[in-house]
Amino acid sequence: MKTLLRTLLYLALIVWLGAEIFFPVVAAITFTALRPDTHTAGSIVGELLRILRGMGLVSGMVALALLALAPAWAIYKPRTVLAPMGLVVLMIAFTVYSQFAIIPAMERDRIAAGGAIDAVDAANPSRIDFNKLHNRSEHMEEAILLLGLATVVLVAKAETA
């Protein structure tokens, strides 16, 4: 039973981090293939990002539940799971913020710009705000990835405690 639960924990982390690692590759390929049509590329990448974040939220909840229950099932010592749990909570919080605050604001800016953000002048307030939010979204994804890697390290450390 311990092996099954550890496997599920690792699988949840692998799914989330794997998606975080490979998403930039998929985005780069999409924008390269659709270079002349950045609006379509952005729409595709935006939809993929929604899927990625959905996967992250489910994986995060599974990982958090398993980490919370692990001490009761004598898988890990109670203190060893506190830090990984905290990091997973931060990862979930960043994902929720990105998905439900940043993305809708970017969509409002895109619509205010006439539907295609690249079609408006670089000095347009909607485009400026869109670019600011896009950078913030990228930073959130980077933070989620780094927190996830730290979580893996701490879970591995809990194995030896």
- CA atoms of 115 and 111, how far apart (whole Å): 5
Q: Give the residue from 155, 159, 156, 160 showing the smallest Cα distance to 67.
A: 155
Domain that holds residue 17: 2-160
The H-or-E segment that residue 157 falls in is helix 125-160
Percent of the chain with pLDDT over 90: 64
Q: Which of 4-13, 38-47, 89-98, 99-108 has the lowest mean pLDDT?
A: 38-47
Distances in whole angstroms, Cα of residue 56 to Cα of each of 92, 96, 145: 8, 10, 11
User: Which pLDDT band, with edges at 50, 70 and 90, does 146 fall under?
Assistant: very high
- Would you say 83 and 89 are in contact if contact means Cβ atoms under 8 Å apart? no
- Residue 124: helix, strand or coil by DSSP? coil
Distances in whole angstroms, Cα of residue 135 to Cα of each of 4, 39, 100, 128: 39, 17, 16, 11
Mean predicted confidence (pLDDT) in 72-99 = 95
Distances in whole angstroms, Cα of residue 100 to Cα of each of 5, 26, 31, 81, 103: 31, 22, 24, 28, 6
pLDDT for res 118: 77
**What residue type is 62 in one-letter code?**
V
- CA atoms of 99 and 131, how far apart (whole Å): 16
Average pLDDT, the chain: 91
Looking at the predicted structure, is the pLDDT value of residue 37 above 80? no
Mean predicted confidence (pLDDT) in 109-130 = 86
Mean predicted confidence (pLDDT) in 66-88 = 94
Mean predicted confidence (pLDDT) in 58-79 = 94
Mean predicted confidence (pLDDT) in 5-31 = 90
* Contacts (Cβ under 8 Å, ≥6 apart) of 17: 145, 148, 149, 152
Tally of domains in the chain: 1
User: Which pLDDT band, with edges at 50, 70 and 90, does 43 fall under?
Assistant: confident
**Chain centroid to CA 158: how far?**
24
Terminal CA-CA length for the chain: 19
Looking at the predicted structure, is the pLDDT value of residue 109 above 80? yes
More confident of the two residues 149 and 31: 149
User: Which pLDDT band, with edges at 50, 70 and 90, does 161 fall under?
Assistant: confident
Total-model pTM: 0.89
